[in-house]
Amino acid sequence: MPQKASVNDCSQTSKNLFDLNLPTLEPGEKLFPSPTPTLEEQLAHAEFLLSTQPIDFLAARLARMNPEPFVFA
For 14-64, what is each residue's pLDDT tens digit?
677 777 777 788 899 888 888 999 999 999 999 999 899 888 888 888 888
Q: Does 1 score more than 80 pLDDT?
A: no
Q: From residue 72, how far is each of 29, 64, 66, 68, 69 by CA, in Å? A: 53, 21, 15, 10, 10
How many angstroms separate the CA atoms of 21 and 12, rounded? 8
* pLDDT band at residue 73 under the 50/70/90 scheme: low
pLDDT for the residue numbered 62: 86
pTM given for the model: 0.41
pLDDT for the residue numbered 46: 94
